[in-house]
Amino acid sequence: MQKEEQDSIYRVVQDYIPNTVRATKNKAKSWVYGYDEKYDFIVISKDGTVGDIVDIQGLKIGLPLAPRLCPQRHKKPEEQYWERMPIPKELSRIQSIFQWNEKPSQFKDRWVDYIEEEFDYRERGYWFMNNGNPTYITGSHYMYLQWASIDVGYPDYREANRIYWIFWEACRADERSFGMVYLKIRRSGFSFMSSSECINIGTLARDARIGILSKTGGDAKKMFTDKVVPINVRLPFFFRPVMDGMDKPKTELAFRVPASKITKKNMYETDDSDIEGLDTSIDWKNTDDNSYDGEKLLFLAHDESAKWLKPNNIKDNWRVTKTCLRLGMKIIGKCMMGSTSNALSKGGQNYKDIYEDSNVSQRNKNGQTKSGLYGLFIPMEWN
């Protein structure tokens, strides 16, 4: 790949913000997660700092400031790369928050720091040394790499996926965005990444609904049963809420009682009756222009969106499901839409129209793109 092509996808923008401004706000940790209107970029940092500002296909995104010391698996740069750390055996035997509550205080003292740290990585992201370079991955990317068990085991680290997840976090942070539309290559992992995000969002949210759509109802069901449900089943106990119904349902994951965030303050609490339910569900719908019409969604995974065949039309469906992600003028949910491109006569043209309407450099008076989504394309060379 030519350097110009690489730079057009992902590049660090130098001197985008005056160094004195950045240094002052970093010292005060006063950068706020979300869209910064004054400097026209999106802060995805959750610790109040901004380090590199990167441009991903026209979207300016502020990463957190790199720590002085990053975790590294080896002192030699060539031996530094992502390495998943398995859950400690003593914790792997615990299946629920209720079993944790029964453990003696000495056991809890030994493991509470580890559990708190995992929640922090899930929320703020993770830094590690990669071939001599401090490298940041978002919390969603960390959950995917560390805890989303897929068909081949746990996912490999790919630089293309790091770009994808940074872009997605910017869509989540930006109150003007309904999410992303991803034009992808085959076997890039989108179905598993969107399934992982279903679980990541669904196991934290209260009183929410997560939806899944695909090119057919059968495909949506298969994504739910073969990807979403297994990822949930294999989560460690401290991330997995108690479910209502079967462990491996066919139509809906219903989270009624959460696995509470374990901290030093609450780790000795044993009264299970005080645990409040999440009342959050994840389900799928048959493919139809009006799927999820009238529903309120916190997250919508839209898989194989360029392959909707007549009489169904992805553009008509997006007009409907877009309304499921807002309350009045406020955007309350996000869509992760992705697909390889089908023939233009077989659904590809409608998806192409949505993608072209998602250009971040073309916005209306509300600051939104024509589709409301942000478009991302990562060519095969990156994978």
CATH number of the domain encompassing residue 227: 3.40.50.300
Q: Which phi and psi angles does 45 have, rounded to 5°?
A: -70, 140
**Block residue for tokens 């034009």:** 183
List own/partner pairs for 273-280 with CB under 8 A and 24 or more apart. 275/97, 278/203, 278/205, 278/206, 278/207, 278/208, 278/241, 279/206, 279/207, 279/255, 280/202, 280/203, 280/205, 280/206, 280/207, 280/208, 280/209, 280/210, 280/241, 280/254, 280/255
Q: Please tell me the predicted confidence (pLDDT) of residue 270.
A: 47
The answer on 49 and 173 residing in a single domain is no
Q: What is the token pair recorded at 88?
A: 């400690």
81 part of a folded domain: no
Q: What is the token pair recorded at 93?
A: 């035997």
Instruction: Please list the residues that pair with 180 across neighbouring strands.
Output: 336, 374
308 part of a folded domain: yes
The answer on 321 and 203 residing in a single domain is yes
The answer on 230 and 376 residing in a single domain is yes
Could you say which of 62, 82, 105 is where a domain stops? 62
Assess contact for 192 and 155: CB atoms under 8 A. yes
Instruction: Please list the residues that pair with 182 across neighbouring strands.
Output: 338, 376
In DSSP notation, 257-281 reads E------TTTTT---GGGPPP--EE
The answer on 357 and 214 residing in a single domain is yes
Going by C-alpha positions, the residue among 288, 151, 111 that lies closest to residue 217 is 288
Q: Please tell me the predicted confidence (pLDDT) of residue 7.
A: 56
Q: Please tell me the predicted confidence (pLDDT) of residue 339.
A: 87
Contact residues for 329 (Cβ-Cβ < 8 A; gap 6+)? 366
Q: Please tell me the predicted confidence (pLDDT) of residue 5.
A: 47
Contact residues for 8 (Cβ-Cβ < 8 A; gap 6+)? 57
Q: What is the token pair recorded at 19?
A: 């160094």
250 part of a folded domain: yes
The answer on 33 and 179 residing in a single domain is no
CA distance 336 to 303: 8
**Block residue for tokens 């989540």:** 172
CA distance 30 to 198: 30
Assess contact for 141 and 161: CB atoms under 8 A. yes
CA distance 373 to 352: 13
Assess contact for 209 and 367: CB atoms under 8 A. no
The answer on 169 and 55 residing in a single domain is no
What Cα–Cα distance (Å) separates residue 7 from each residue in 55, 161, 166, 192?
A: 9, 16, 16, 27
CA distance 334 to 299: 5
The answer on 350 and 220 residing in a single domain is yes
Q: Convert the pLDDT of each residue in 10-35 to its tens digit.
A: 999 999 999 999 999 999 999 999 99
Determine the structural domain holding residue 24 and report its residue range: 3-62
DSSP label at residue 66: P
The answer on 180 and 55 residing in a single domain is no
Domain count, the chain: 2
The answer on 358 and 211 residing in a single domain is yes
Q: Convert the pLDDT of each residue in 66-118 to its tens digit.
A: 999 999 999 999 999 999 999 999 999 998 888 998 999 999 999 999 999 99
Q: What is the token pair recorded at 62?
A: 């502020």
CA distance 53 to 63: 6
Q: Please tell me the predicted confidence (pLDDT) of residue 243.
A: 79
DSSP label at residue 150: B
**Block residue for tokens 């110009």:** 4
67 part of a folded domain: no
227 part of a folded domain: yes
Assess contact for 143 and 201: CB atoms under 8 A. no
210 part of a folded domain: yes
Going by C-alpha positions, the residue among 224, 215, 83, 68 that lies closest to residue 142 is 83
Going by C-alpha positions, the residue among 210, 341, 345, 227 that lies closest to residue 278 is 210
**Block residue for tokens 């059968």:** 218
Going by C-alpha positions, the residue among 281, 302, 295, 118 that lies closest to residue 195 is 302
CA distance 257 to 249: 17
Q: Which phi and psi angles does 382 have, rounded to 5°?
A: -75, -15
Write out residues in the chain with pLDDT < 50, as ranges.
1-6, 258-259, 270, 272-274
30 part of a folded domain: yes
Could you say which of 31, 62, 93 is where a domain stops? 62
157 part of a folded domain: no
Could you say which of 47, 62, 77 is where a domain stops? 62
